């Protein structure tokens, strides 16, 4: 399975209009698409940084549908034109190949904790195995589902761990339990050779659509 994501940053003085525009745009796309798109807002992370995501088994048909919508859906094109007045920078698209699932892969969750980083090319396999080990260990403590994905397009040599929660309260409870575990700390200590530390990013996001 693949996870497509578009990161959109709204200018601070346009948050209300920007959020309304995103909700309108994603709602429209879901009314005409064969895929289900979700809209995410930050809980912890960069203010104004929103995400649109969708799951797909085959990226080719997914990309073709998006291209057709951009070329011929006049309502969609008008909504995209309106984005220019409130976005702070060009959106970034990434494609992630889901390589491992620790726990049960269910429906799109309400809240996600996201950690991602970039590895040097020669570190990729070690980074993937490290991510899988971390996901399995943390999931065993928290009973939350964590996916491990890799990307070479949009975020080169990228590794991403996404943990699903029903609520922010569930995230807090699980995080405290995992961080207090001595074995988890030992796993972290082995992370020196699996990525570039300056690229590490984390966020807590909530699904609003």
Separation CA 160–CA 116 (nearest Å):
4
Rg (CA), the chain: 18
Q: What is the pLDDT of residue 44?
A: 98
Q: What is the 3-state secondary structure (H, E, C) of the chain?
A: CEEEEEEEEECHHHHHHHHHHHHHHHHHHHHHCCCCEEEEEEEECCCCEEEEEEEECCHHHHHHHHHHHHHHCHHHHHHHHHHCCCECCCCEEEEEEEEEEECCCCCCCCEEEEEEEECCHHHHHHHHHHHHHHHHHHHHHHCCCEEEEEEEECCCCEEEEEEEECCHHHHHHHHHHHHCCHHHHHHHHCCCCCCCHHHCEEEEEEECC
**pTM, two decimal places:** 0.96
Q: What is the pLDDT along the chain (209 residues), one digit of tens a residue?
A: 999 999 999 999 999 999 999 999 999 999 999 999 999 999 999 999 999 999 999 999 999 999 999 999 999 999 999 988 999 999 999 999 999 999 999 999 999 999 999 999 999 999 999 999 999 999 999 999 999 999 989 999 999 999 999 999 999 999 999 999 999 988 888 887 899 999 999 999 999 99
Separation CA 171–CA 202 (nearest Å):
14
Give the fold, CATH level 3, of 2-92.
Answer: Alpha-Beta Plaits (3.30.70)
Please calculate the CA angle 105-116-179 and round it to the nearest 5 degrees: 80
Instruction: Return the structure tokens found at 94.
Output: 């990434």
Query: Strand 201-207 relative to strand 111-118: parallel, antiparallel, unpaired?
Result: antiparallel
Fold match between 2-92 and 96-207?
Answer: yes
Q: Tokens 């995992």 label which residue? A: 178
Q: What is the pLDDT of residue 189?
A: 86
- 124 and 150 Cβ atoms separated by less than 8 Å: yes
Please calculate the CA angle 28-34-38 and round it to the nearest 5 degrees: 55
- Give, in words, the CATH class of 96-207: alpha beta
Q: What does the domain layout of the chain look like in residue ranges?
A: 2-92, 96-207
- 55 and 114 Cβ atoms separated by less than 8 Å: no
């Amino acid at each position: 399975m693949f996870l497509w994501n578009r990161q959109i940053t709204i200018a601070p003085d346009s948050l209300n209009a920007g959020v309304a525009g995103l909700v309108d745009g994603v709602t429209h796309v879901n009314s005409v698409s064969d895929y289900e798109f979700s809209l995410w807002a930050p809980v912890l992370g960069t203010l104004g940084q929103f995400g649109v995501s969708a799951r797909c088994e085959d990226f080719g048909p997914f990309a073709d549908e998006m291209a057709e919508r951009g070329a011929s859906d006049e309502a969609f094109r008008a909504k995209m034109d309106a984005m220019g007045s409130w976005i702070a920078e060009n959106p970034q698209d990434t494609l992630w190949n889901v390589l491992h699932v620790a726990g049960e892969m269910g429906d799109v969750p309400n809240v996600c904790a996201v950690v991602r980083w970039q590895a040097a090319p020669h570190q990729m396999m070690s980074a993937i195995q490290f991510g899988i080990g971390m996901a399995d260990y943390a999931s065993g403590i928290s009973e939350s589902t964590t996916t491990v994905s890799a990307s070479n397009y949009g975020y080169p040599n990228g590794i991403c761990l996404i943990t699903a929660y029903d609520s922010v309260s569930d995230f807090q409870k699980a995080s405290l339990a995992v961080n207090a575990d001595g074995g988890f700390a030992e796993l972290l200590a082995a992370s020196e050779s699996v990525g570039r530390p300056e690229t590490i990013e984390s966020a807590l996001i909530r699904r609003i659509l």
